[in-house]
Amino acid sequence: MTQDYWKQLIDKYFEAETTPEEERALRGFLALTDDPAFDEAKAVTGYFSAQRSRRAARIRVRTLTASLAAAAAIALVAILGHSTTPGTEDNCVIYAYGEKNTDRQAVLDDMNQTLAELFAGNQGPDVSAQLNEFFN
Amino acid sequence: MRTKLIFLTIALLLPLAVWSQERTHSQPIFDGKIVPKDRAYETFVSGDANNENHITLFHSIRFTADRSEFKRVTDLILEDANDAISKEMEIAQGNLTYALLVLPSSGTLNRFLGFQAKPSGQDGECSAIVVYIEGFTTINNLKKNYFTGK
């Protein structure tokens, strides 16, 4: 390729009419040539290349930032939803030594009995004495 | 830009911190890590099943434990007691036999943890029950609804 070819390609570049392949070829040529006739073109295309790199980096950072923001928002909504929504589904189940029982009334009766035992509190001196035997 | 990334990372991790606080120190008991679940009687009620008492979550686990398991269970309950807003506890010979804890709320939900030890009738073993409750009720209302006056 002659010097005239490259000069025509440079003119085409400044008129924004080059294809991506022609741009790559031109940059490759300018990176290797020492011909002072192309010094000005080298200076300008080098500036645009730097600008493109910085723009690409900014786009990558913006994309990452947007992704992180979206992930944070989703996580926050999911956690808040989990913590404040009182039981989005009804569930009544007993696992008696590995066996499952979903009889709703049986489960509720067991719950009520457990709570009655718990809130009865102090179990009396006989129970305390038996527990003391265990602790000894 | 770096500052923005740092704040966004914190925003992403903060919900995880909030979520982890909702769990209790006693969670391994309910997970069957102290006494295996095939030796336990577990009851779970959630949602509107118990709406009339304003309890949104009830989880209890009963089991019979040896001295080592019992000690591990009570150690975990005592860790939760350290975080409790209020507590009622009974100790016999240096061992926890009863606890009723009001835990820090989770959002608008009040949280409670109960523990009760009972003789099992078997040498070297003790029965126990651990109860976790969430709901819009209060400890006083729970006592009023369930205290049988023994």
Answer whether A127 sits within 8 Å of B119, measured CB to CB.
yes
Q: pLDDT tens for residues B77-86?
A: 999 999 999 9
Residue A74: its pLDDT value, please?
Answer: 67
pTM for this prediction: 0.64
Where helices occur in chain B by DSSP H, the ranges are: 2-22, 27-30, 67-83, 139-146
Average pLDDT value for residue range A11-26: 86
Q: What ipTM was estimated for this complex? A: 0.81
Contacts 24+ apart (CB under 8 A), A105-108: A107/B43, A107/B44, A107/B45, A107/B49, A108/B45, A108/B49, A108/B50
Answer whether A130 sits within 8 Å of B116, measured CB to CB.
no
Give the whole-angstrom CA distance, residue A24 versus residue B66.
77
Contact with chain A for residue B17, Cβ under 8 A: no
Answer whether A72 sits within 8 Å of B11, measured CB to CB.
yes
pLDDT above 70 (res A88)? no
Answer whether B8 sits within 8 Å of A65, measured CB to CB.
yes
Contact with chain A for residue B131, Cβ under 8 A: yes
**For chain A, how many residues are written?**
136
Contact with chain B for residue A59, Cβ under 8 A: no
Residue A102: its pLDDT value, please?
Answer: 93
Phi and psi of B107, rounded to 5°? Answer: 65, -120
Contact with chain A for residue B14, Cβ under 8 A: yes
Average pLDDT value for residue range B31-47: 94
Q: pLDDT tens for residues B85-122?
A: 999 999 988 899 999 999 999 888 999 999 999 988 88
Average pLDDT value for residue range B31-54: 88
Q: Please state, as a whole number, how many other Cβ atoms lie within 10 Å of the Cβ of residue A25.
A: 15
Residue B143: CB partners within 8 Å, gap ≥ 6?
A119
